[in-house]
Structure 1
């Protein structure tokens, strides 16, 4: 993979996804998350030096993005009736386990394309149709620009990057839209799920990049979340001001950590210079105390019953 060839600061169309992710001269919000607890700088450094291999779950996510955004990488559709057959010519119960499928899959990846099964392709088409028909999400994708790569160098000399899914305007306000597939689109469930995945950091990161690059003084950032199972429910969500503020705080912490590690060449692990003393989690201590209080109460009751017998 080759590094991104682009100006230090700016917004660019046509940057190949592989080149974008291969850039080791800039920090993305995904990298920022790895620099902070519960991860550590050593794990960030490892991920930079050992790029992740393709995963089927990511392949489908990329396919869904292509269907919704209209832009994306190259895909090769694998038809089980053609490459997933047994020696007798009938379709295997598990087409992906056949030699023909594995060969076709390997050839597609060798050519720089993403292999997907025909059923997955048809599923992604249905999902995209559902997004287009959604009253809130559909209009967002009617006009705009897909997959713009942003680069900006902050005051401390750290080059930051971000890759938008979709940029559009709503009532003269610039809106950055991020499309995500999910097991659930239930907003109540997304509160915890999005927090665990650090998506509030992403919202703050992209908004601040758009501001720094002079594209907007107050851009909006929306997530369009869609379930991967029928009926492919869709919701549109945004983070409130408190969440954005916390995202900015953590992003700044990650950027400062990155700068110190980059300049020193030291990428520390969880606790490289000390032995860590562990305690019980708070809930366990509370349960133990409740048990002790109950035992003491039962002992007192038994003692009183003995006095008055």
Structure 2
């Protein structure tokens, strides 16, 4: 199925770095492509999914709230955090307070949830490398950038969790994430699942396009567990995986450019798609039954 829509009309932010652009205004620009958007354009998602989510942002989830609340306390910028002083949020009074907080853009939390994200921020400050990468004396949070993609002419955008303001040598771009398990074994799968190799290539290319660093800029993920003792794993993306991420980004950029030019945002297609068994199942069943 193909969704046909008029090209979105917005007042797009100017090209270059923006130090005070709100998160809402950043995401409101439908004329440009972000790293998360690029990942949404590729399989197993589709351009139709991408465009639908642009026009219908998903409702906040607890996982989303925890991540944003931790970002607020770790990075020092973000929505207001409001503790809802009710043991249960099922009462009329509690529901009203939660709704009022969300209406003004705040994140409602229970007291134990506020205690958790506060402890997470404290653990970050005690981690030598994470604390150095996020030192407020040498950087600032939530910096947005917009630039023109050379091959296609589309607008691209990036929102850095943290951007160093004093640089000596290689530009290191930290990106803070929360996780249930930050171990190497699990994070290898998360890199593939969430396309963090695409994000690394996107942010590193953004830094070059925006004149922020040389050819050797590098994204480092600061991944923190959401359970005590709130351990932190600082992760770099291996070079070959970033090359693959760059190729996938280019495919997504080309798809976005075509969809913007035609107004067509295709889904899974209008004709039958003939599929085979997964390789492991086919091999197993051939051996057992053929």
1:166 aligns to 2:162 (yes or no): yes
- Please state whether the residue corresponding to 2:31 is helix, strand or coil: coil
| Offset at residue 3 of structure 1 (A) | 5.2
| Offset at residue 248 of structure 1 (A) | 0.7
TM-score, length basis structure 1? 0.85
1:264 to 255, 262, 285: 262
| Offset at residue 113 of structure 1 (A) | 1.9
C-alpha separation in 1, matches of 2:198 and 2:286: 37
C-alpha separation in 1, matches of 2:228 and 2:117: 11
Equivalent position of 1:299 in the other structure? none
Equivalent position of 2:245 in the other structure? 247
Equivalent position of 2:108 in the other structure? 115
Query: 5 Å matches for 1:1-309?
Result: 6-7=13-14, 9-79=15-85, 84=86, 92=87, 95-142=88-135, 143-155=138-150, 156-168=152-164, 171-217=168-214, 218-272=216-270, 274-292=271-289
C-alpha separation in 2, matches of 1:234 and 1:121: 19
- Please state whether the residue corresponding to 1:173 is helix, strand or coil: coil
| Offset at residue 4 of structure 1 (A) | 6.2
| Offset at residue 195 of structure 1 (A) | 0.8
Highest RCO, 1 vs 2 (Cα 8 Å, sep ≥ 6): 2
Identify unmatched segments of 5+ residues in structure 2: 1-8
| Offset at residue 278 of structure 1 (A) | 2.2
C-alpha separation in 2, matches of 1:224 and 1:112: 26
Equivalent position of 1:305 in the other structure? none
| Offset at residue 74 of structure 1 (A) | 2.0
- Please state whether the residue corresponding to 1:255 is helix, strand or coil: helix
* Aligned residues between the structures: 277
Distance 1:3 1:14, change over 3 A: farther
- Please state whether the residue corresponding to 1:287 is helix, strand or coil: helix
C-alpha separation in 2, matches of 1:182 and 1:114: 19
Aligned CA-pair RMSD:
1.7
C-alpha separation in 1, matches of 2:131 and 2:231: 13
C-alpha separation in 2, matches of 1:184 and 1:171: 33
Does structure 1 retain, via aligned residues, the 8 Å contact 2:13–2:29?
no
Query: Could you give the per-residue CA deviations for residues 68-97 of structure 1, whole angstroms, max 9, x where no partner exists?
Result: 111112222222xxxx2xxxxxxx4xx121
TM-score, length basis structure 2? 0.91
Identify unmatched segments of 5+ residues in structure 1: 85-91, 294-309
